[in-house]
Amino acid sequence: MSKYLESASLPPLGAICLDYTDDIHRPPGDPLNPESFDFPLIHEIVPNATLWNVVKPEEYSEEFLESIADSCRRLAERGAIGVITSCGFLAQMQTRIKDRIPIPIATSSLLQIPLLLTMRAANEHIGVITFDAETLGDAHFEGIGIDTNMRKRITIIGCTPSGPLRGIIQRGEPYIHEELEEELLSRAKILLEQDPSITVIVMECTQMPPFSKAVSSATGLPVYDVITMIEWFYSGLKPKSVKPDVFKQEGMRTRQRSQKELAK
């Protein structure tokens, strides 16, 4: 079994925070709650990274992108070994920002889609549950290398404008766990009705990971989110420790090889 050492001995991962979510409730499972990880997380807020400056169909301006890059550089100066973001819509900047900063960056849970498409049979589709299906589009998928052919295997559903998720983020409504779970389960059900070829689900939004297990249990499908992306990302930047090999001496013997191993 592999594990991390004590958190205090680990280098931090940097997190880009948006400029409108400082007072949103963040339970364990939210990527900006430190209890979500076994490693330290440090934060930098991007000035003017408001909701509709981030969740937009058009490419970000050079000025806005440079503002995000500045925040990434500050995280590097503070000791971060990599940078993550929590909002899936920041996928659109992945290829544009990676060469501007001194440490690796993983911008979105959607980064997992190309890998998942490669891992699944050609007739299997990926379902995406997002904050806003009307906005999530070409700029975001092209930003992470998803081409037109790959898009044919992706089906998207968004949360409803009047629903609890958009209510929390847009209107400052109370965070009620049960209502959020009900909404996401409902959206997952509709998504699978729309596309029965879906065999795996990706959650786009920051607020969705606490409900991934419930969605997986209800649908019987694997579910990936920003937490699974971040844990994978960090585990490569700082590999986990493994237990000492108590049978180390046994490995020092000369192994007897069979004829089938020797045959060419």
pLDDT tens track for 128-169:
999 999 999 999 999 999 999 999 999 999 999 999 999 998
- Type of residue at 94: Q
Coil, strand or helix at 3: strand
Q: What is the mean pLDDT of residues 182-204?
A: 98
Question: pLDDT (tens digit, 9 = 90+) per residue, 213-224?
Answer: 999 999 999 999
pLDDT band at 23 (very low <50, low <70, confident <90, very high): confident
Counted domains in the chain: 1
Separation of alpha carbons 155 and 132, rounded Å:
13
Tell me if 6 is assigned to some domain: yes
Separation of alpha carbons 31 and 41, rounded Å:
9
Tell me if 147 is assigned to some domain: yes
Tell me if 108 is assigned to some domain: yes
Tell me if 258 is assigned to some domain: no
Contact criterion met (CB below 8 Å) for 209 and 189 = no
Q: What is the mean pLDDT of residues 202-222?
A: 96
Q: Which two tokens stand for residue 148?
A: 């037109």
Tell me if 64 is assigned to some domain: yes
Contact criterion met (CB below 8 Å) for 231 and 37 = yes
- What is the CB neighbour count within 10 angstroms for residue 129? 28
Tell me if 255 is assigned to some domain: no
The lowest-confidence range among 21-30, 41-50, 187-196 is: 21-30
Q: What is the mean pLDDT of residues 20-49?
A: 87
Separation of alpha carbons 76 and 49, rounded Å:
20
If you average pLDDT over every residue of the chain, what do you get?
A: 92
Tell me if 261 is assigned to some domain: no
Number of H helices, E strands in the chain: 11, 10
User: Which phi and psi angles does 201 have, rounded to 5°?
Assistant: -120, 140
Tell me if 250 is assigned to some domain: no
Q: What is the pLDDT of residue 6?
A: 65
Question: pLDDT (tens digit, 9 = 90+) per residue, 87-98?
Answer: 999 999 999 999
Separation of alpha carbons 181 and 189, rounded Å:
12
Task: Identify the domain containing residue 65 by its residue range.
Answer: 2-242
Q: What is the pLDDT of residue 256?
A: 82
Non-local CB neighbours of 157 within 8 Å, separated by 6+ positions: 127, 128, 129, 130, 133, 187, 190, 191, 194
CATH number at 15 reads 3.40.50.12500
pLDDT at 1 over 60: no
